Structure 1
Amino acid sequence: ESAVTAASSRLGSLREALEARRAVTGGLDQAAAKATLLAAQDARDRARAAVRRRTELDQALVRHDQETVALDQRVGALATRLAAERAEVGSLTARLAEDSAAVGAELDGRATVADRVAHVRDRARRIGAWLDATAAVLSATTSVDRCEADLAAALARAGLASAAEVRAAAVADATLQEWTRRVEQHARDLHRVRAALVEPTLRDLAEDAVADVVGAEARHRAADDVATSLAAQVRDRAQAAEDALERLRAAVDAAEHVRREAVPVVRMADVATAVGADNAKQLTLATYVLARRFEDVVAAANGRLTVMSSGRFELVRSEEREAARSRRTGLAMKVVDHEVGGERDPRTLSGGETFYVSLCLALGLADVVTAEAGGTELGTLFVDEGFGTLDPETLEVVLGELGRLRDGGRVVGVVSHVEALKQAIAERVEVRRLPGGGSTLTVRA
């Protein structure tokens, strides 16, 4: 009975527990509860997967934000570089416009530079004529000065102040003869009186002495002839001086006219020959044209120099003087070292660097000459020495560039003592020195 009671109590407890469980499960049976449990486990797995996915997405979002910041920074850098390059393009465009305007202004309405040069030469010829006229003016001035000196001396001898007084004193021949007679008479009388007063011989003469009147008259006539001759000379020289003065004035007027016409030509010649203040850069016309062609050569050379130097070097034209003691500008050159950053003087390059930079310039010049000659090819190229200064890697690059020239149809000849070139060049001419002083020549193909 006690066992029954205990079992009944136990049964009641179990029923209560069962009811409590059913209350918790909402009245589900075992199959439904199991299904609910499986569903709950599946929801839990999905929740855990969602948490992991969220963590991954958060990490991806952080990476995305970092990449976005990096891209923003790169965009900013590219924008800055783009602005700088646009500014440089604008500056180059402005310089090109200025250069074109300068050339156009200096052409002075001529169609080509050759026309302008011909015009300048013609004006230079006219300047030469002006200089000849100036020399003639100087000679005429010297002649006038000499004539004026002669005139002044003649006027002083004649007792006159100016040529105008000489012309004013000119009278008719009859009047002059009458005046001459009176002067002669007066001179004779005055001479007789003075001679009587100052000469001791006359004073000591006897009362019955006879005077030499004929001789005195002869001497008077001689003196009168001298005076007449001097007057004629004064008139002739005065007329010659007036004629010379008129010629001088005409020569001065012509010289001034030529000088005024020559001013633009002289200015243009000064600009073309790099003298005078109008040519601030001291560039001659030939240097200016060569500088533009030199830029083409440098551009053509940089294409090969980039390959040979692995992108380290680049050539640029410089406005500095070509040498410390030279006044010439426009054809100097700098080497941009992208590895170090900045421009270098070409004289600071090593022997190998100098060799392949020179080679690139020579090849660039050949390309420009070919283009300027209407496509006429420079079919043969010789490179003499310089390969011994190259390291093996650079030597391989240089030979590769020469090989491309050969593949393009050019004949490339190499003169060198470098043994490594024998392995790289199959077709060659070998020259070997003999002990006796001669040499042998072997052709290998």
Structure 2
Amino acid sequence: MRDLLEAATREQAAAVAARRRVAELDEQLAKLREQYLKEGEAATAAQREIPRLLERQQTTDADLTKLAEEMLHWQEQTDIFQRTIQDFLAPHRLALPARPPYDGILATLRERADHYEAQVARLNELGKMLLEKTSQHKARAAALAQQATQLAAAAAALETEQQAIDEQQVARQAFYAGPNPAAEAEQLRQATQRLADAAQRAQTQLADQQKTLEIQLNRQRDLRAQLATHRATHAQRLTELDAALATTGIATPAEARALLLPAAEAERLQQRRQDHLTARAATARRLEDLSAEQLRHAEAGLTPHIAAELTAQLNALSAADDTLQQKLGAVSNQLKQDDDARQLQADGLRELERRQKEEQRWQDLSEQIGSARGDKFSQFAQGLTLTHLARLANLRLRQLTGRYTILKTPNKNLELQIIDHDQADTVRPMASLSGGESFLVSLALALGLSELAGHKARIESLFIDEGFGTLDPDALNTALDALERLQHSGKMIGVISHVSDLKDRIGTQIRVRPGAGGNSTVHLVGILGHETSCAVPAQRPEPVAS
């Protein structure tokens, strides 16, 4: 019985454990079912998202293809720009670098332009000088011709007088055969002149000696005045030097010089001192000469001072000169330091200028393409395209009229101006053009745009829809003349208009006439004026076999 109870207890416990296990399995199954539902929803959302992703991928591929085409187009435009620039540089024997920067080629062109302007200015100056020399030459030739005439007349008169003199001498020899009185008189005159010249030279030497003496006296007085001035200056400089040394705490001037002068400067000053000693020796020799001369003057009683006093004065002046030379050395040192500081400042200014130029270059680049939204770069690129379009349009505009040239407005990427060659190349705004002129310019821009859009393809046909009704008769004739020139160049021109005056100018026409019930008929008019209907006759319905 106990065994049965124990077995029942064990079975009951196993049943409770099995129920608990079943409950746990039910919970796990519910979690798995919930997770499965979530995964199913995610898969469904993923399935719905796949078409959108595919569509987005297709859009991205299309954008990439478009970007590749635009990149190819801009690459072709770049090649065209480079070829155009190379065409401009070819006459100057210059080559465009393969990659930026182009500062070198720009500097070369600027240098050649400056050289050309200098040569032109020099040529103008030489032309002016040539005109002046030609005028002077003509004036001198006329003066020489006049002088030659006068000399010929004088030679003839001289020859006549010489013949008369010869005749008189022959007559005198016939009456008197002694010495020639004229020759004797000439010898006496020359002797008198020599004596007068000797007296004049003696007077001149006397005056020179007196002037020399006066100069020496003045120099002596000047030396005395300079000596007094130098003594006062020397005393003042000694006082200033003592005050300056007391302020700085330096004991002696020698100590100050040792502190201030570096080795190189001391060597330079030593060389200057040697030069000064050489000059001083020369001065001493000059002083000896002056002393000897002064002694001679003293012996002659021309000065109250003796040589010893003058020597003492000169020694004092030499001492003052040494002091001044020392001060000159100090000032020279200060000047050298000032020159070094100026050189350092100049180097700093050059570095500052270089950095300012670099900053200005980046600033210019930022102003051109530095916008956060990219609109500046876009406008810059559009400006390049507009410049190329203006060049292509000008090629067509020259075929229509030689009066105007289209110009992109400087410093404005998306504006155009017009150059009027009949008004001394005046630059005018586009709004100042008349109706016919605007039509020609618009036509040239349209042709240039067709060439720009078609790349290497050639567009042989052109259709113009309306726009003729706003033109006056003169402008209309101008526009039609331009279209006729285009037609003669091989293009097919089609004009769509309601202006009746065009009938007389256009040979082949297609006329559309309105009819009843909202229908219209098309008629073809030939060059001879014959009109042919282009209507298709209605077909009868075929009988249906029963």
TM superposition score normalised by structure 2: 0.25
Structure whose residues are more often helix by fraction: 2
Report 1 or 2 for greater relative contact order, CA contacts < 8 Å, sequence distance ≥ 6. Answer: 1
